[in-house]
Amino acid sequence: MQYYELCCPVPADETQSEIIIALLAEAGFESFDHIGNELKAYIPEFLYGTHLMPLLASNILAGITFSLSKVADTNWNQVWESNYEPVLIEGQCYIKAPFHADRNDIAFQLIIEPKMSFGTAHHATTAMMISYCLAEDLAGKSLLDMGCGTAVLAILARMRGANPVMAIDNEVWAFENACENIIRNKTEDIMVLLGDDTLLEGWKFDVILANINRNILLNDMPAYAACLNSDGILIVSGFYYDDLKQVTRKAQELGLVFDGFKEQDHWTAARYIQKDG
């Protein structure tokens, strides 16, 4: 998949900066990167006409100098091999690439080769989701990793005793990468599927993990709620703190009870309990 990259200076006013990021996320931008005083935001090519053009025609970016360019697929494996460092979460989960040294003193060591997929714990959303996984009692629980990317969450959950575990992503390269990482971590009994929330009909889970983005979460949350067992847990991330109220309101409409959140670098993860399943 190809993306458009929007570059603009980060406003000195932190509130204004957060507003711009929130508006860009609303328009369909999926990822953001602060490099010095510059903000880089990325939107899939297929959203360019329906989401990005109306944004540029509005006054949202009025007075802000920005550039827009089309970027080709990135070989993330090459990028990460040049600057990817291992990550240690909560002193319990060590995430490394195949070329890094092992850490046998850590409870859970995951070997993740990201290629073009998202999910190495360097990003705040993945780190928070891993933190939730480490705190959750997963032994014997059925679990879904929705929008699995590298399958890092599914793999960790399986290592912590979740069973059965299903991982779903709608991108071919993420599906393939997830399959490779699952074999690499000797968790081959994880079921990996290529598709979206339409695959969930008829399934039931005790725990659902969804680290995607706000718009997809809001759209797919009814499907998640429908396949959660009573007292089941939904943990979501991929959105900013300013979006927490909207995500929680949607969850509550579906009978999900808010049970706390984490925040890191303006990103948020939240936990909900299904009381009407």
pLDDT digits (tens, 9 = 90+) for 127-156: 999 999 999 999 999 999 999 988 999 999
**Residue 121: pLDDT above 90?**
no
130, 109 Cβ separation under 8 angstroms? no
Q: How would you label 23-56 residue by residue, b for 16+ Cβ within 10 Å and e otherwise?
A: ebbebbbbebeeeeeebbbbbeeebbeebbeebe
The whole-model pTM stands at 0.74
N residues, the chain: 277
Q: Which fold has domain 3-71?
A: Alpha-Beta Plaits (3.30.70)
- CATH homologous superfamily for the domain 76-274: Vaccinia Virus protein VP39 (3.40.50.150)
141, 164 Cβ separation under 8 angstroms? no
pLDDT at 34: 67
Q: Where are the alpha helices (DSSP H) in the chain?
A: 14-26, 53-57, 76-83, 124-135, 152-159, 172-184, 214-226, 244-253
State pLDDT tens for residues 221-239.
999 999 999 999 999 998 8
Quick one: what percent of the chain has pLDDT higher than 90?
A: 51
State pLDDT tens for residues 23-61.
777 777 777 776 667 888 877 777 766 666 666 655 555
pLDDT at 229: 96
pLDDT at 265: 82
pLDDT at 52: 63
More confident residue, 81 or 180: 180
**Residue 8: pLDDT above 90?**
no
Domain segments of the chain as ranges: 3-71, 76-274
Instruction: Please name the residue that has the structure tokens 């939240």.
Output: 270
pLDDT at 32: 73
| Band of pLDDT at residue 9, cut at 50, 70 and 90 | confident
Number of H helices, E strands in the chain: 8, 14
pLDDT at 80: 47
Same fold across 3-71 and 76-274: no
pLDDT at 76: 47
Question: What is the mean pLDDT of the segment spanning 184-210?
Answer: 96
**Is residue 166 classed as helix, strand or coil in its secondary structure?**
strand
